Amino acid sequence: MATTERKPILLDFEKPLAELEARISQIRELAEVNSVDVSDQIHQLESRAQQLRQEIFTSLSPAQRIQVARHPRRPSTLDYIQAISEEWIELHGDRRSGKDDPAMVGGIARFEGRPVVMLGHQKGRDTKDNVTRNFGMAAPGGYRKAMRLMEHADRFGMPIFTFIDTPGAWPGMEAEQMGQGEAIAYNLREMFRLEVPILCTVIGEGGSGGALGVGVGDHLMMFEHSVYYVASPEACAAILWKDAARANQAAEALKITAWDLKQVGILDQLLPEPIGGAHADPLMAAETLQQALSQNLARLLQMSGDQRRDRRYEKFRQIGEFTEQTEAHI
C-alpha cells in the first residue's frame, strides 16, 4: 500500500529555513536531471541550513517558544508513555460521574521493569481529535480520575509520573457546575500527602490551575521549549490592556520559559530538545525524558515516604519567598 509523506507544518520563524531547504532540494533535483556534480555546493548549503536551524532555535523569544510548545505534532502524553514504558494499561473513569474524560489519560505501566502510574493531559492531533480531547482541557472528572489513579499508586507503592500539557482546565459553565475548582484544589491538597515519588514534567503547555492539578511533585522538569504560566499571554493581554494582540508583550513580562522558571527556583531540571523542537525528533526527546526520569526516580527511592512528603512540602513553601529592604533611619 502506498504511503504519503506528511506535509511539514511551518511556524513563522521557520520560513527562512524552509526556503533554504527547498532551494537545496531544487538544486539536487536539477543536478540529477542534468547529470551535474554539485556536491560541494549542496554541502555548503546544508551546512548553512544546519547553522541557521541552530541560530533560530537557540534564540527564540517567549512568544516563539509558545508556538513550539503548541505545535500540532509535538509529542503528547500518550506518545511519551508508549515510547518509555514496557507495558501500558490505560484505566478510565473517576468512579463518580460514570463518564471518562479523554482530555486526561492515565494508567499503569512498567518503567524499566518497575510498576508505575503514568498520567497526564492529552491533546489531539487534528481538529476532530482536538474536539474529542477538548484541546487537552480537562473537566472535573479528569482531575478526579487522576487523583483516583494516584491514590491507587500510593496504596500499592508505585511511583507516579505526570505529564503536563494543557492551556488550562476546561472553563465551561458545566465544568463549574461539576466543581472544577474543588476538584483541582482537592488534588493540590492530596498530592502533598502521598508517600510515593512523584515526578512531574511539562512536555508542552503548563497552563494555570489546569497544570497544577497534576503538578504537585518531588521534582519538576520542563522540556526546553515548553512554557508554564499562571495565565496564557493572550488572556493576560486581554485583561491588562484589553487587547489580545499584545500577547507577545505579555509573554515577555510573564517569565514563562524554562530558563525563567529555573532562575526563580520553580523548575528543578531543564530537559534539552532536539534542534527544531521535540517534534523534529520525538524518539530523541523520549530518550532524554526516560533518562531524566530514571535518574531522579533512583534518587527519590532512596528516601523514605515521610522524607519525600516533608521535602515536597518545603519545596513548595519556598516558592515565592522574598525579602524587603527598607532604608535605615538616621
Q: Binning pLDDT at 50, 70 and 90, where does residue 6 land?
A: low
pLDDT at position 285 over 50: yes
Contacts of residue 212, defined as CB under 8 A and 6 or more positions apart, other chains included, come to 184, 188
Reported as a pLDDT band with limits 50, 70 and 90, residue 281 is very high
The residue behind cell 535605615 is 328
Over residues 11-16, the mean pLDDT reads 74
CA 216 to each of CA 73, 189, 191, 207: distance values in angstroms, whole numbers, following the listed order: 27, 9, 6, 14
Which residue do the cell numbers 504519503 mark?
4
What pLDDT shows up at residue 38? 67
Higher per-residue confidence, 58 vs 32: 58
- Has residue 4 got a pLDDT over 80? no
Work out the percent of the chain whose per-residue pLDDT is above 90: 68
User: Per-residue confidence at 2, pLDDT binned at 50, 70, 90?
Assistant: very low
Domain boundaries, the chain: 13-59, 65-317
Q: What is the pLDDT of residues 75-119, one digit of tens each?
A: 999 999 999 999 999 999 998 888 899 999 999 999 999 999 999
pLDDT at 327: 66
CATH number of this structure's domain 65-317, picked from the four choices 3.10.20.90, 3.90.226.10, 3.30.1300.10, 3.60.21.10: 3.90.226.10
**Burial class of residue 328, CB neighbours in 10 A (0-12, 13-18, 19+):** exposed
Question: 106 has which bridge partners?
Answer: 119
**Amino acid at position 89, single letter:** I
Q: What's the pLDDT tens digit per position in 37-54?
A: 667 777 777 778 777 777
The pLDDT value given to residue 109: 97
pTM of the model: 0.88
**Average pLDDT of the residues in 135-163:** 97
State the average pLDDT over residues 285-301.
97
The rounded distance, in Å, linking the Cα atoms of 217 and 312 is 7
Q: What is the mean pLDDT of residues 174-199?
A: 95
**Burial label, 6 (beta-carbon count in 10 A; 0-12, 13-18, 19+):** exposed
Place of cell 496504596: 155
In a 10 Å sphere around its CB, with 0-12 CB exposed, 13-18 middle and 19+ buried, how is residue 323 labelled? Answer: exposed
Per-residue pLDDT reduced to its tens digit, 193-249: 999 999 999 999 999 899 999 999 999 999 999 999 998 898 899 999 998 889 999
Residue 144, all three cell numbers: 478526579
261 residue type, one letter: L
